[in-house]
Amino acid sequence: MDLLLWLVVFVSFGDEEHCDVILIVRYHILSLIEIKHEQD
């Protein structure tokens, strides 16, 4: 359930000061999801 952990990170960094961090994390999440779909 790694996605739930990422969701918690999203919520805790859900302010404008960490917008760049959110974008970076979101990019990594999308990459992980794509990799998982390719493996299936």
Rounded to whole angstroms, the Cα distance separating 32 from 22 reads 15
Given a contact cutoff of 8 angstroms between Cβ atoms, the answer to whether 25 and 9 are in contact is yes
- pTM recorded for the entire structure: 0.45
Taking the C-alpha atoms of residue 29 and residue 34, their distance in angstroms, rounded to an integer, is 9
Kindly give the confidence (pLDDT) of every residue in the chain, 40 residues in length, as a single tens digit, with 9 standing for 90 and above: 577 777 777 776 666 666 677 778 888 888 888 887 787 6
Torsion angle in degrees (nearest 10) through CA of 39, 7, 12, 16: 80
